[in-house]
Amino acid sequence: MTARTRKAQRRTDALSRERIIEAAVELLDAAGEGGLTFRALTERLATGPGAIYWHVANKGELLDAATDDVVAAALAREPAGRPASPQEGVRAVALGLFGAIERHPWLAAQLAGQLSRGPERPVPPRILERFGQQVRELGVPESGWFVAASALMHYVLGAAGQHAANVAYARTLGPDADRAEVLGAVAAAWQGLDPADYPFTRAVADQVRDHDDREQFLAGVDLILAGITA
């Protein structure tokens, strides 16, 4: 091994794939997918691009790795105490994903992309497996496992993604934006709709003002659980 090769090996050993992914997540959290560039990554890690390319081939691979890392951490979080039932296990998985998507607003788009880009993507099977294990514990017949687990997965990802979009929108209104005022404006807009075309939306407008996002999210999970166990 030449001196140059040994020097390059030491650099790549010191800069692990795990540290690169950690830095990528930090950049994504700060500026979204557009802020994740190899130039920004080399500046954050104080290294050259060659050391990064040693571990990851391109931005697509890096995004997949960051997504997988965040989701794996979310699914590994144990709730306070062992779940007393499969229903509580489902809620724990759902809240873990909800919290991850809330903390990392870029995550929702990456998960949607993985669901649409092909079966080889690593994250959807990981999420499906966790929900599926709980569905099996609920006593669902094997013929219904996929439908039940898929319904839970798609609801959780969709609802958590919408919540993340709402949070991102609220940030654009500035640090002084008041959640109650924003929801009040939505409620007022709904109440102003044509009553002939939007009778239901007008009827629930007042419920928008004071709803709790997390409670609403879990209520949706419980509705699906009730359907699964009926």
Q: What is the pLDDT of residue 99?
A: 94
C-alpha distances out from residue 86 to 82, 133, 174, Å: 10, 9, 41
Residue 32 sits at φ, ψ, to 5 deg, of: 75, -175
- pTM of the prediction? 0.84
* pLDDT, tens digit, 9 for 90 and up, residues 16-60: 999 999 999 999 999 999 999 999 999 999 988 888 989 999 999
* pLDDT, tens digit, 9 for 90 and up, residues 54-94: 999 999 999 999 999 999 999 987 655 566 789 999 999 99
Structural domain boundaries of the chain? 85-229
Is the torsion defined by CA of 27, 30, 35, 40 positive or negative?
negative
Architecture (CATH level 2) of domain 85-229: Orthogonal Bundle (1.10)
* pLDDT, tens digit, 9 for 90 and up, residues 80-139: 556 678 999 999 999 999 999 999 989 999 998 888 876 567 788 999 999 999 999 999
